[in-house]
């Protein structure tokens, strides 16, 4: 098994150090990395030259003593390789011993070493040591130089548990060091290689430097604050035996000797610091691994960082008083590996309370103010910054109204040009139109035809958007102007032969009649249907008006009784006027003392139109018949009226019972008999009815009485 020890010995002065004496030899542990700088021969001049190949007159120069114990049996050799090849290094190996330096020293005269190398007064240069290829001398070995071949000596065969001492002397006392490499099948005893004591690797504190050749770097977050070095110990021990202890030092000598340990102090970023892990079993003071140690080195680096205060500006849409922010976009100078946390106040940041857990876009809503952010880097260092939340300039809008004329096809609808609504004076603004406020906010159901928007009276909403994407919403009231009609222009009724005037009344800005006239009124208007376009502002209402011919009265019937005529009239417009000569008019419908024969009766209604007239026949009255066959007054005969429609002569007794009817079948005559029998002499009533041969088939009724004288 091969073990290597790298030792750099820098000779600075001739001050005496204990590690240059056998009694305080440095314990070599397997794989130890020791960098001790001897600067003299030690406190005790062991007289290594008396029984060794080292010069008795020279003794020690710049020397260092080591002790090592074999963990396993086998061959063992080493190479001393000077950093500067012109240096002259000599050595001597003593042992094995079970009593330390005491068994090797007799009145400061050491026993004969088992291996030794000294080639002259500084004439030997370059590597030296033990070689596996040179066989060991046969025992007993009484000559320290036995087997020495110039710079090299034979290797050793060691047994497990044997302890040896090695002294290395720099004959030139130069300020340079050397490396010591162990070879062979034997392994050196080390608590650090014992799996029962050190099952886990010891961990150098810090992280690798940018240059792999440089020591690890421990990050500190505050350079000016005292650092507790002992806080690194747990990580270095890494769960191994509690018999391992760690101390911290500022140079290699202190690291090797354990001197001047560092506890808590402000660190120097430019300095290299050393840690020393030493094994010491308090329950077994003679344990050969006691005092076994390894060293390492590390530096510090500044992990602190600063942030920059930043400002975020967002849209406070529609005068909401709040805006949505993406706090993660604030340019605070945080690194990509920093963990950021956001808080509403610095108090919350320091206390770790009320963290804003939704800082990303479209999630954090706030009024103008300040937010505080804490950044933590990969080393656990923190910094804070202040984020000022601001609003973009508000999009100023004002509510507006639009009016438009009604549609001829539907008076409740109008066509609006929404772009004409004066809701903003912002240059370059984008306007979008929506039927409701909710749609405007959400951007749904956009009105895509704003220039020709057909709608009833109501409201729409315009979203005004500026260059930053901020918006405000204005309400636009839409009014469909209802048609304005003339309340004086009414349908008229006139006589068919008359003319009239149609007047639309004042208050309109324009008139256009169906006759082509553009005046407020038109005259000489006959019966018919007319229209006028009435202009109010920009709107035009079409109003229709009719001139009706008055309904003429109708003579519904005429009753003739002896010399009286009663004219019954329907239709037209009462009150009626009656005349027999179309000159003299009366209110009564009864004319008296009318002579027998044909007469004309005139009637007109309240419209005073041309009267209607009818010819009235007052028949010759027969009041007595004597049906005795003498040819005089034997019958009642109305055959002279046979040309009238529906002519009927009816005879009634005094009780109103109809006893005879004379019509076309019997020649419109009555001879005073009923069923061929003469009726008793007496007075009887009769009526003659017919319909006049005119358009209205005016019914006539002529009534009277007659005396029938029958001789028995």
Q: What is the CATH number of the domain that holds 642?
A: 2.60.40
Domain end marker among 237, 263, 296? 296
Any domain includes 338: yes
Together in a domain, 565 and 542: no
Return d(Cα 106, Cα 108) in angstroms, integer: 5
E strands of 514-596, at which residues? 521-525, 528-536, 539-549, 554-561, 564-570, 577-579, 590-591
Mean pLDDT of 108-128: 72
What would the pLDDT profile of 158-209 be if each residue is shown by its tens digit? 999 898 999 888 888 777 777 778 899 998 888 887 889 999 999 999 999 9
Question: Could you tell me the two tokens for 337?
Answer: 């590996």
Together in a domain, 73 and 167: yes
pLDDT at 120: 55
Instruction: Match 């009887």 to its residue by tokens.
Output: 684
Tell me which DSSP letter residue 278 carries. E
Together in a domain, 56 and 163: yes
CA distances from 74 to 141, 184, 436, 605, 639 (A): 19, 7, 97, 158, 179
**600: which residues sit within 8 A by CB, 6+ positions away?**
580, 582, 613, 614, 615, 616
Q: Which of 331, 387, 330, 333 is nearest to 360 (CA)?
A: 330
Tell me which DSSP letter residue 22 carries. G
Together in a domain, 179 and 35: yes
Mean pLDDT of 391-398: 94
Q: Which of 155, 165, 140 is nearest to 186 (CA)?
A: 155
Domains in the chain: how many in total?
7
Do the Cβ atoms of 142 and 102 come closer than 8 Å? no
| H or E, element range at 347 | helix 346-351
CA atoms lying within 13 Å on the CB side of residue 296: 19
Do the Cβ atoms of 180 and 78 come closer than 8 Å? yes
Question: Could you tell me the two tokens for 578?
Answer: 């009656």
Residue 10, pLDDT above cutoff 50: no
3-state secondary structure of 687: strand
Any domain includes 168: yes
What would the pLDDT profile of 583-601 be if each residue is shown by its tens digit? 999 999 999 998 888 899 9
Together in a domain, 247 and 356: no
3-state secondary structure of 375: strand
Together in a domain, 63 and 171: yes
φ, ψ dihedrals at 689, nearest 5°: -120, 145
Question: Could you tell me the two tokens for 156?
Answer: 């050793």
Do the Cβ atoms of 229 and 263 come closer than 8 Å? yes
Do the Cβ atoms of 529 and 557 come closer than 8 Å? no
Together in a domain, 260 and 165: no
Residue 47, pLDDT above cutoff 90: no
**138: which residues sit within 8 A by CB, 6+ positions away?**
none
Together in a domain, 132 and 244: no
Any domain includes 200: no
φ, ψ dihedrals at 474, nearest 5°: -110, 145
Burial of 86 (0-12, 13-18, 19+ CB in 10 A): exposed
Considering the chain, what is the average pLDDT of its residues? 86
Residue 30, pLDDT above cutoff 80: no
The domain of 346 spans 310-391
Return d(Cα 590, Cα 579) in angstroms, integer: 10
pLDDT at 301: 95
Under the banding of pLDDT at 50, 70 and 90, the label for residue 146 is very low
Any domain includes 17: no
Return d(Cα 712, Cα 709) in angstroms, integer: 10
User: Cβ atoms within 10 A of the Cβ of 262, count?
Assistant: 17
Together in a domain, 512 and 449: no
**This prediction's pTM:** 0.56
Write out the DSSP string of 198-267.
Answer: --S----SSB--SSTTSPEEEEES-TTS-EEGGGGHHHHHTT--TTEEEEEESSHHHHHHT-S---EE--
What would the pLDDT profile of 676-695 be if each residue is shown by its tens digit? 888 888 888 888 888 887 77
Residue 562, pLDDT above cutoff 50: yes
Together in a domain, 467 and 510: no
Domain end marker among 296, 323, 339? 296
Mean pLDDT of 332-348: 95
Return d(Cα 551, Cα 576) in angstroms, integer: 13
**Which residues pair with residue 406 across a beta bridge?**
414
Q: For 66-80, 301-315, 511-525, which range has the lowest pLDDT when averaged over its residues?
A: 66-80
Any domain includes 202: no
**410: which residues sit within 8 A by CB, 6+ positions away?**
none
Burial of 596 (0-12, 13-18, 19+ CB in 10 A): exposed
The whole-angstrom distance between residue 338's C-alpha and the CA centroid of its chain comes to 26
Together in a domain, 266 and 324: no
Return d(Cα 431, Cα 411) in angstroms, integer: 29
Any domain includes 562: yes
Together in a domain, 165 and 30: yes
Angle value at C-alpha 15, between 10 and 16, nearest 5 degrees: 100
Return d(Cα 110, Cα 101) in angstroms, integer: 9
Any domain includes 153: yes
3-state secondary structure of 542: strand
Question: Could you tell me the two tokens for 336?
Answer: 């990509």
Any domain includes 9: no
Return d(Cα 631, Cα 622) in angstroms, integer: 15
CA distances from 135 to 29, 95, 152, 153 (A): 26, 18, 11, 9
Q: Which of 86, 92, 129, 97 is nearest to 114 (CA)?
A: 92
Domain end marker among 267, 296, 325? 296
Residue 7, pLDDT above cutoff 60: no
């Amino acid at each position: 098994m091969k073990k290597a020890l790298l030792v750099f010995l820098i000779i600075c002065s001739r001050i005496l150090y204990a590690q240059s004496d056998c009694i305080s030899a440095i314990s070599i542990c397997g794989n130890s990395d020791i960098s001790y700088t001897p600067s003299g021969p030690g406190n005790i001049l062991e007289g290594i030259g008396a029984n060794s190949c080292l010069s008795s007159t020279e003794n020690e120069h710049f020397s260092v003593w080591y002790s090592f114990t074999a963990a396993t049996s086998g061959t063992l050799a080493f190479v001393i390789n000077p950093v500067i090849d012109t240096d002259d290094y000599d050595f001597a190996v003593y042992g094995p011993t079970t009593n330390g330096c005491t068994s090797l020293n007799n009145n400061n005269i050491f026993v004969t070493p088992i291996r030794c190398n000294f080639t002259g007064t500084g004439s030997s240069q370059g590597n030296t040591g033990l070689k596996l290829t040179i066989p060991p001398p046969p025992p007993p070995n009484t000559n320290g130089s036995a087997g020495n071949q110039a710079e090299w000596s034979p290797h050793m065969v060691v047994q497990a548990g044997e302890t040896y001492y090695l002294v290395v002397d720099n004959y030139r006392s130069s300020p340079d060091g050397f490396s010591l490499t162990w070879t062979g099948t034997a392994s050196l005893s080390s608590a650090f290689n014992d799996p029962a004591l050190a099952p886990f690797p010891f961990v150098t504190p810090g992280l690798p430097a940018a240059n792999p050749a440089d020591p690890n770097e421990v990050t500190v977050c505050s350079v000016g604050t005292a650092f507790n070095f002992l806080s690194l110990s747990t990580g270095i021990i890494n769960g191994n035996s509690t018999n391992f202890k760690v101390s911290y030092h500022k140079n290699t000598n202190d690291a090797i000797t354990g001197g001047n340990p560092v506890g808590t102090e402000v660190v120097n970023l430019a300095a290299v610091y050393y840690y020393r892990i030493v094994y010491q079993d308090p329950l077994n003071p003679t344990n050969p691994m006691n005092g076994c140690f390894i060293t390492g080195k590390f530096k510090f680096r500044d992990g602190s960082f600063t942030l920059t205060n930043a400002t975020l500006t967002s849209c406070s849409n529609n005068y909401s008083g709040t805006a949505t922010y993406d706090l993660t976009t604030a340019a605070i100078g945080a690194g990509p590996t920093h963990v950021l946390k956001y808080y509403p106040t610095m108090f919350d940041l320091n206390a770790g309370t009320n963290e804003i857990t939704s800082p990303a876009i479209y999630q954090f809503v706030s009024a103008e103010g300040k937010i505080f952010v804490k950044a933590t880097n990969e080393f656990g260092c923190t910094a804070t910054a202040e984020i000022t939340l601001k609003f973009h300039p508000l999009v100023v809008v004002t509510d507006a109204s639009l009016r438009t004329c009604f549609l001829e096809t539907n008076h409740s609808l109008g066509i609006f040009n929404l772009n004409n609504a004066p809701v903003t004076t912002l240059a370059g603004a984008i306007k979008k139109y929506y039927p409701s406020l909710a749609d405007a906010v959400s951007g749904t159901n956009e009105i895509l035809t704003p220039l020709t928007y057909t709608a009833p009276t109501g409201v729409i909403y315009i979203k005004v958007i500026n260059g930053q994407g901020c918006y405000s919403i204005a309400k636009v009231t839409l009014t469909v102007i209802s048609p304005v009609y003339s309340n004086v222009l009414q349908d008229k009724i006139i006589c068919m032969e008359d003319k009239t005037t149609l007047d639309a009344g004042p208050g309109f800005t324009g008139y256009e009649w169906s006759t082509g006239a553009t005046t407020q009124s038109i005259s000489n208007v006959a019966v018919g249907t007319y229209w006028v376009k009435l202009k109010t502002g920009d709107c035009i209402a079409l109003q229709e008006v009719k001139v009706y011919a008055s309904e003429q009265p109708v003579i519904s019937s005429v009753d003739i009784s002896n010399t009286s005529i009663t004219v019954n009239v329907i239709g037209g417009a009462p009150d009626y006027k009656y005349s027999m000569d179309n000159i003299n008019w009366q209110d009564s419908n009864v004319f008296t003392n009318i002579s027998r024969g044909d007469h004309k009766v005139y009637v007109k209604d309240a419209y005073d139109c041309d009267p209607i007239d009818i010819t009235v026949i007052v028949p010759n009255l027969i009041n007595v018949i004597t049906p005795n066959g003498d040819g005089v007054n034997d019958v009642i005969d109305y055959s002279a009226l046979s040309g009238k429609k529906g002519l009927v002569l009816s005879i009634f007794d005094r009780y109103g019972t109809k006893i005879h009817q004379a019509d076309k079948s019997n020649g419109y005559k009555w001879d005073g008999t009923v069923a061929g029998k003469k009726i008793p002499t007496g007075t009887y009533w009769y009526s003659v009815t017919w319909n006049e041969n005119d358009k209205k088939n005016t019914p006539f009724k002529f009534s009277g009485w007659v005396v029938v004288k029958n001789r028995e």
